[in-house]
Amino acid sequence: MSDAAAAPLVVPAFLRAPSRRPPPELDSPLNWLAARLSVLLAGRRSRQAAKDGDAASARAAALADRSEAELAQCLAKARAALRARGMRSPVLIETLAVAAEAARRKLGLTPFACQLACASALTGGAVAEMETGEGKTLAAYLAAAVFALAGRGVHIVTANDYLARRDADYLRPAFAALGLSVGVVVGGDEPAARRAAYGAEIVYISSKEVAFDYLRDGLTRPAETGDRRLAAKLARVFGKAAGEEPIQRTLDVAIVDEIDSVLVDEAGTPLLISTNRPGEISETVAREAYDLAEHFVPARDFTIDPFILTPALTPHGQERLAEIALGKSGPWRVRLIREELLRAAIGARYVLQKDQHYLVRDGKIVLIDQSSGRVTPDRHWSHGLSLMVEVKENCVSTGEKKSLASISFQRFFRQYATICGTSGTAREVAAELHSVYGLKPAWIARRLPLRRVTAPRRVFANRDALWAEAARIACVLQKRGQPALVAVRSVREADRASAALCKAGVVHRVLSAAQDDAEAEIVAGAGQSGAITVVTNMAGRGTDIKLGPGVAELGGLMVMVCERHDSRRVDRQLIGRCARQGDPGLVMELVSREDSVLRLLDPFWTRILERRPAWTELAIARAQRLADRRSRAARLQLLRRDEQLTQVMGFAGGLD
């Protein structure tokens, strides 16, 4: 027997090693108490950050008259002090001031005290909640400069490739003035380009790219024990030499933009690297299962939990499936396989909806991220669900997928030595961020007064009445020249809104997952006079909607929330599109008793709302709290499974 055949199959080190933070006792009273205490102490943390911000702002003003040579001397002293004494207050303030002055000279931007305060909080490993439009991008630059000057490698993690490239290109001159190199990694980059970018001191990259590179590095890196069998196996899969140099450097510092979106909203779905599994479930069997699902009755044969995509078979449904399988062969003879096939088929037929959960593009299924509203072409559903949806939409079958490696966002980001980040909506998840990631919250005071006006909430009996009124309001706004965002939660509802606006003669544009390629262009014009834009929650997050001439005098941009999300935090993100940077803005919420969020409540509430329509808002608030609890429980369960699987695989010494 050859050495390769005799060698044990060993898990790569990146999958075997525990995270740098031990798995939290998520349900323990002590963990709950620590998280609550951290939130209570946020005020003290915020006051210290504000004090540092004021001091750094004053020091930066004093540096404005210094020559380039004198500023270079200040930079050299700050760098040496950081590496000798760490980020203590006097050194931190001096470094922030030098970085702020570099931004003023190279970018023409003078960082405000609130941005310097945010940077101070970030260097302390905090999650900083900063009002939308207050300049989180520049605050991240300041914090990254401090970390990098201290000799640490920094990843600035953004929501998407567009923001990563935009911020890197814009801030590169300021980083260069500090002697710091900047790299950017986006989808489609070749391994050599990625490796070069990761060699920079500051790397701009989206959350999915950095996590997938981590997985790919682990798969192409030979195990520490010299396991040639595993290395050869993976080399065949990836078509490259086993033992190739890793692309990434050590995971040291992560500054996460819109941290609640990345560490909370995206954390409900694990990241997978997979390959096609050869023909275990053929397309013929999949179509047979999909046709069979039509004959199974809801409630009697299966139940559907609105929080998960695949239903559960009842005992009656299991017995009925077993009777049908008696006359079949192949996978139908195995109980676990046939039940999984039927659950996937029922999920594809009754749960997953086109233009809400997925799009069909060029004959292929493209998933829609339910938290961001953006398409995720690199993802697929597991347990045969993607295969069933392909059958449903008559798409070319891509076959079943076999997972080569997977990791949850929670476990991946817990690998970093230091995590910090910014958000405009972190309060609702501050306790969870502390429980899972050890992040301490800080609240950054806004620089300018908030000029957002909230109109009285309107309640309608059904969606048709809601859209008729929304179209009427949009028509009035367009005639007077005031721009508006008509906010919905799905591509399907965006199309419904568009139809209502067309019927009312309102000229408008649509921004949803179906128009993601035109996002920057649509957002750029959304604040112009009379512009009406139908948006999902992807609505240009991370970018400013600039008001056109004369719009501020009319009251600014209006956000018309026409469909509530499962989380009030996501509603707040949409509301934050208006009244930014001291601009005026208007918010109006239109709700109906047919809003999809109400599906989460039991039938008792349906009867209540028929008699008391005024309780609709109370019912929606209850549904959102329920959804938040269930989503949080699902994320924590995913983290536990991920940690347990890692330990089991490390003990077993194998991946398969």
pLDDT of res. 452: 94
Reduced 3-state DSSP string for 552-564: HHHCCEEEEECCC
pLDDT of res. 367: 83
Tokens in use for 632? 């949080």
Residue 217 has pLDDT above 60, yes or no: yes
Q: How far apart are CA 48 and CA 46, in angstroms?
A: 5
Q: What are phi and psi of 40, to 5 degrees?
A: -65, -35
Q: How far apart are CA 9 and CA 191, in angstroms?
A: 26
The CB density around residue 277, as the number of other CB atoms within 10 Å, is 12
The model's pLDDT over 252-298, given as tens digits with 9 standing for 90+, comes to: 999 999 899 889 988 877 777 766 665 557 778 888 999 999 999 99
Q: How far apart are CA 345 and CA 481, in angstroms?
A: 49
Question: Which has the higher per-residue pLDDT, 631 or 176?
Answer: 176
Beta strand segments in 52-131, E:
126-130
pLDDT of res. 533: 94
Q: pTM of the full predicted structure?
A: 0.83
Reduced 3-state DSSP string for 383-444: CCHHHHHHHHCCCCCCCEEEEEEEECHHHHHCCCCEEEEEECCCHHHHHHHHHHHCCEEEEE
* Per-position b or e across 113-151, b if 16+ CB within 10 A of its CB: bbbbbbbbbbbbbbbbbbbbbbbbbbbbbbbbbbbbbbe
Q: How many CA atoms lie within 13 A of 592 on its CB side?
A: 17
pLDDT of res. 147: 97
pLDDT of res. 383: 65
Residue 401 has pLDDT above 60, yes or no: yes
pLDDT grade for 549, boundaries at 50, 70 and 90? very high
The answer to whether the beta carbons of residues 559 and 577 sit under 8 Å apart is yes
484-487 vs 557-561, strand pairing mode: parallel
Closest CA to 100 of 126, 128, 74, 133: 74
Question: Which has the higher per-residue pLDDT, 542 or 509?
Answer: 509
pLDDT of res. 25: 56
pLDDT grade for 155, boundaries at 50, 70 and 90? very high
pLDDT grade for 222, boundaries at 50, 70 and 90? very low
Query: What percent of the chain has a predicted confidence (pLDDT) above 70?
Result: 84
Question: Which has the higher per-residue pLDDT, 411 or 73?
Answer: 73
pLDDT grade for 18, boundaries at 50, 70 and 90? very low
The mean pLDDT of the chain is 84
Closest CA to 133 of 448, 346, 357, 441: 448
Name residues whose C-beta falls within 8 Å of residue 587's C-beta, 6 or more positions apart in sequence.
452, 453, 454, 455, 558, 559, 561, 575, 578
Q: Which domains does the chain have, with CATH numbers?
A: 27-272+410-443 (3.40.50.300), 280-398 (3.90.1440.10), 451-592 (3.40.50.300)
Task: Give burial (CB, 10 Å; 0-12/13-18/19+) of 512.
Answer: buried
Q: How many CA atoms lie within 13 A of 278 on its CB side?
A: 0
pLDDT grade for 229, boundaries at 50, 70 and 90? very low
Question: Which has the higher per-residue pLDDT, 6 or 261?
Answer: 261
The answer to whether the beta carbons of residues 645 and 15 sit under 8 Å apart is no
509-511 vs 418-423, strand pairing mode: unpaired
pLDDT grade for 654, boundaries at 50, 70 and 90? very low
Residue 656 has pLDDT above 60, yes or no: no
The model's pLDDT over 493-511, given as tens digits with 9 standing for 90+, comes to: 888 999 999 999 999 998 8
pLDDT grade for 162, boundaries at 50, 70 and 90? confident
Closest CA to 547 of 519, 586, 514, 604: 586
Give the DSSP per-residue string, 16-56.
Answer: HSPPSSPPP-TTSHHHHHHHHHHHHTHHHHHHHHHHHHHHH
The model's pLDDT over 86-139, given as tens digits with 9 standing for 90+, comes to: 888 899 999 999 999 999 999 999 999 999 999 999 999 999 999 888 889 999
Closest CA to 541 of 582, 585, 491, 575: 575
Q: How far apart are CA 325 and CA 332, in angstroms?
A: 6
Q: How far apart are CA 261 and CA 371, in angstroms?
A: 8
